[in-house]
Amino acid sequence: MAHRSRSWLFPRPIPVLTDTHCHLDAPEFAADRDAVLAHARAAGVAALVVPAVSAAGFDALAGLAAAEPDVHAGYGLHPMYLSEHRPEHLDAVRARLAHGDAIAVGECGLDLFIDGLDPALQREYFLAQVRLAREFDLPLVLHARRAVDEVIATLRRVGGVRGVVHSFGGSEEQARALWKLGFCLGIGGPVTYERARRLRRLVATMPVEWLLLETDAPDQPDAFHRGQRNEPGRLPTVLQAVSELRAVSPDELARQTGENAIRLFGTALGTRR
């Protein structure tokens, strides 16, 4: 009689992960933020990059990052919150960057999908933040919805910047253009949906050195939690989906993407590993 494997007696170590894009400071987490963070840590998420979306949240985010060593803040003005932004808020971004605790500039970018978001005004804020990223030598965390080509054109025009386009949903041609500019692609919950064929094909074959994992929590839950609030503790689901698409072990993919995150955002991400 064949002996059954006893591997279940010796659980494999949990891969060490970096959630390169989540909004742990969002009001959706106000009631249970500590529990959400504890769940993420238990799931192997050792570092979280939390980009701001408006100046109103800068102080609270700075406090969160100061209190939690594995939470790393970026400061920027998100295009979807355009109605909240004022020109002087760019000075607030500069002040936070000058303080020295920022890991990135963002979330910023362009959103040409939502009606009512003045494209010209979006461009002004975006260009100013790209220039700040270059000035402070910090990576950009970018939102680009129906605007990838224009974002690429702006990055080329300014030059001397690097970063990540989070929740990338563009073409392979656009992806290649971003890699040439030094930009990674952030991959999250959408890759777990079988209908996301173009994205899944890209993720399966793209150079691993440009790949980052994210949740975008509380938004963009994976296919197994559709309609629910997303959490950084669900990053292992993204890891599993991407590892299957690429035919590599989750451990190896966690190592590679973790190194990519440290290379982009700095060694502070690796201090708790």
Alpha-carbon gap, residue 26 to 140, rounded angstroms = 20
182 inside domain: yes
105 inside domain: yes
11 inside domain: no
CATH of the domain at 151: 3.20.20.140
Q: What is the pLDDT of residue 108?
A: 98
Encode the chain (273 residues) as per-residue pLDDT tens digits. 343 434 344 456 789 999 999 999 999 999 999 999 999 999 999 999 999 999 999 999 999 999 999 999 999 999 999 999 999 999 999 999 999 999 999 999 999 999 999 999 999 999 999 999 999 999 999 999 999 999 999 999 999 999 999 999 999 999 999 999 999 999 999 999 999 999 999 999 999 999 999 999 999 999 999 999 999 999 999 999 999 999 999 999 999 999 999 999 998 887 544
Bridge-partner residues for 45, per DSSP?
17
Q: What is the pLDDT of residue 179?
A: 98
1 inside domain: no
Q: What is the pLDDT of residue 254?
A: 97
Q: What is the pLDDT of residue 12?
A: 62
DSSP string, the chain: -PPPP-GGGSPPPPPPEEESS--TTSGGGTTTHHHHHHHHHHTTEEEEEEE-SSGGGHHHHHHHHHH-TTEEEEE---GGGGGG--HHHHHHHHHHHHHT--SEEEEEEEE-SSTTS-HHHHHHHHHHHHHHHHHHT--EEEEEES-HHHHHHHHHHH-S--EEETT----HHHHHHHHHTTEEEEE-GGGGSTT-HHHHHHHHHS-GGGEEE---TTSS--GGGTTSPP-GGGHHHHHHHHHHHHT--HHHHHHHHHHHHHHHH-GGGGTT-
Q: What is the pLDDT of residue 264?
A: 98
Q: What is the pLDDT of residue 11?
A: 53
Q: What is the pLDDT of residue 69?
A: 95
- Find the domain containing 107 and state its range: 16-267
189 inside domain: yes
9 inside domain: no
Report the number of distinct structural domains present in the chain: 1
Cα–Cα distances in Å, from 175 out to 170, 206, 214, 242, 246?
7, 9, 17, 17, 17
159 inside domain: yes
**Two tokens at 263?**
């290379």
Q: What is the pLDDT of residue 269?
A: 84
272 inside domain: no
